[in-house]
A = this chain, B = another copy of it.
Amino acid sequence: MIKIAVDAMGGDYAPKEQIEGAMKAVKDISDIEITLYGDENIIKSYLTDDTNIHIVHTDSVIDMGEKDPIRAIRSNRNSSMAKSLSSVRAKENDAVVSSGATQALIAGAHILVGRMKQFKRTAIAPVLPTTDRGQFILLDSGANLEIKPEFMVQQAYFASIYAQEVLGIAQPKVGLINIGTEEGKGRTLDQEAAALFKANKHINFIGNVEPKSILNPPADVMISDGFTANIVMKTIEGTAKGMSTMLKQELSRGVFGKLGLLLSIKNLKRLKKRMAPDEIGGAMIYGLKGVVIKAQGASKANGFYNGIKQAAHVVRQDVIGKVTAIIETEAKQDAQ
């Protein structure tokens, strides 16, 4: 059985949606069991079926609006987030899923799960929808604001293996997020990263990709430093929100418009759903000794269920073992 720790208390709709997501997961996925970390009394009031679900009581929570989330996770080892992370290092669980505060989760994962040997900089990598085909990985979405290009290479290995094993893409293409497609474009960092990617046999590098095609990119993995990729993610979110507002404003103009809007309402909801947190998979933290999945803060039961499913899949496919094998081979070659 794959054992998954769930931080039941983190997220905008915790613990209700987290618990519902967990109950759905154990029903649908036969090889998992779940341990919920959080306030036992509160959890019990929502847990209507405890088949394959355990509870570990914790008496505090890392607040979503925490001003200093890194300090909070450091000083609060008895929180649901800290306890669930620690359970992975203690081998009590194979993976953690949390929709708690991102920066606290990244910092907590570093301290309590630990970094993979030889992996220099952890990254956080959400999986986003495309318009015309499956999904793509956007990294690093905010773990390392400033980074050396050689560390991006390790992150690209991880993303490639993830895309292969979890998203089922045979030869995942890697694209560097840049302001132009020509070789040599971008900052010094981008030029150096592109050269390293190009020369590396483990990476199927297709070159620079402009975010003009961000919702239908020619690559399965879109990579940049943590500042840039986070800005890309937030600009996608902002533009999608802005376009929805404009759409509503325009569609409700005039009699034909209003009638059309009425008829289209079901389809428009489907559009909204495609861009909603529940449909967008959780983000994995790359470079740890264990599997840590960050489900979106606004996840409802279905989104959280998807996060659990994703975590189980990553464990089942031994993504961490496969990445470790490449990193260690590389390290040996470098040492020679």
**Chain A residues near B (Cβ < 8 Å):** 67, 130-132, 142, 145-146, 177, 179, 182, 186-188, 190, 210-216, 227-228, 230-232, 234-243, 245-247, 249-251, 253-254, 256-257, 259-268, 270-271, 274-275
Contacts and interface: CB of A to CB of B under 8 A. Distances in A.
A290 B142 CA distance: 40
A267 B251 contact: yes
Contacts of A241: 212-213, 215
Contact of A179 (B131, B145, B240): B145
A142 B235 contact: no
Contact of A238 (B182, B212, B231): B212
A257 B246 contact: no
A260 B263 contact: yes
A211 B231 contact: yes
A211 B238 contact: yes
B132 A245 contact: yes
Contacts of A274: 246, 250
A218 B182 CA distance: 35
Contact of A182 (B67, B132, B232, B250): B67
Contacts of A250: 267-268, 270-271, 274
A259 B263 contact: yes
A227 B264 contact: no
Number of copies: 2
A281 to B, nearest CB: 17
Contact of A214 (B182, B187, B238): B238
Contacts of A259: 260, 263
B234 A210 contact: yes
A17 B162 CA distance: 48
Given A211-B238, A238-B212, A239-B243, A264 B257 contact: yes
29 contacts: A145-B179, A179-B230, A211-B231, A213-B241, A214-B234, A215-B238, A215-B239, A215-B242, A215-B243, A216-B242, A227-B228, A228-B228, A231-B235, A236-B239, A239-B239, A246-B271, A247-B247, A247-B271, A250-B267, A251-B264, A251-B271, A253-B267, A254-B266, A256-B266, A257-B267, A260-B261, A260-B264, A260-B267, A261-B264
A237 B227 CA distance: 19
B214 A242 contact: yes
B187 A146 contact: yes
Tell me which of A228, A237, A267 has the highest count of chain B C-beta atoms within 10 A of its own C-beta: A267
Contacts of A212: 234, 237-238, 241
Contacts of A266: 254, 256-257
